[in-house]
Amino acid sequence: MRILFIGDVVGGPGRRGLHAAMPGLRERYAPDMTIVNGENSAGGMGITEKTAKAIFDAGADAITTGNHVYRHREVYDFLNRSDRVVRPANYPYANPGRGYTVLEVAGKRVGAINLSGAIGLDVARSPFHEADNILEKIECDFAIVDFHAEVTSEKVAMGWHLDGRVAAVLGTHTHVPTADARVLPQGTAFISDVGMTGSRTSVLGVKPELILERLITQMPVKFETAEEDVWVMGVVVDVNERGLADSIEQVMVPAPS
């Protein structure tokens, strides 16, 4: 079974780029399931029901998120209603939304698990303990983990922690694709960061001049999403009958204009 996982969609340019690129990606990779991180899809920060719908319309089967998931209050009810959008599972249990879901795809029960790193980000519980707790109770043939984390060492550690227990641990949040995609010894596909879906003429999706002004002056600056040279980034993971990975391949393509 083939899973296409797409990295953080940034704002309108990312959404439009994803929509334009998906027909070509489907033709090239023929995925059985597509998972998209959408936590920056609404104006470059957060997600709304409208932007989630746009991602689903582009071809996503499930959407993961991250630390900006609660930026827009109007999404809270949608997160509670949807069984195809997940937020970090190690947030407080009473928070809106769910931390994992199981979808029936091509005759398989596929788990999509979202976790947040604890280093540099706010969480209620250790992502390592939370991963263990979820794997004890989730009922699926295999699971894909979106580990939305700040620090590469924590991401690499999670890969080793879950090696042989999930099909893939895929890092998001830092928006820069890393060169460490591989299948770990026990069969878990891993990459520290899959990259983002948004403008490469940017600093992590934001207009460069605004980021430079903020860094140089140390003064508040309103960020705006960059629009030029949109690329779609992610990975393709082939999962075998044992629920583990045979391969992982990076995806980095310019969005059709």
Give me 133's structure tokens: 């707790």
**Model pTM score:** 0.96
Q: How many domains does the chain have?
A: 1
* CA–CA dist 155, 41 (Å, integer): 23
Q: What is the pLDDT tens value at each position of the chain, 257 positions in all?
A: 999 999 999 999 999 999 999 999 999 999 999 999 999 999 999 999 999 999 999 999 999 999 999 999 999 999 999 999 999 999 999 999 999 999 999 999 999 999 999 999 999 999 999 999 999 999 999 999 999 999 999 999 999 999 999 999 999 999 999 999 999 999 999 999 999 999 999 999 999 999 999 999 999 999 999 999 999 999 999 999 999 999 999 999 999 98
Does the annotation count 161 as an active-site position? no
Helix residue spans in 30-151 (DSSP H) = 49-58, 76-81, 127-137
Q: What is the CATH number of the domain that holds 197?
A: 3.60.21.10
Q: What is the DSSP string of 202-232?
A: SBTTB-HHHHHHHHHH-S-----B--SSEEE
Q: How large is the greatest C-alpha to C-alpha distance in the chain, in angstroms?
A: 55
pLDDT given for residue 257 in this prediction: 81
Choose the catalytic residue: 19, 68, 129, 175. Answer: 68
Q: For residue 180, what are the domain limits? A: 2-254
pLDDT at 209: 96
Query: Residue 34 pairs with which residues in a beta bridge?
Result: 4
DSSP character for 75?
A: G
Report the pLDDT value the prediction gives residue 180, as an integer from 0 to 100.
Answer: 98
Q: Measuring CA to CA, which residue among 243, 165, 250 is closest to residue 1?
A: 243
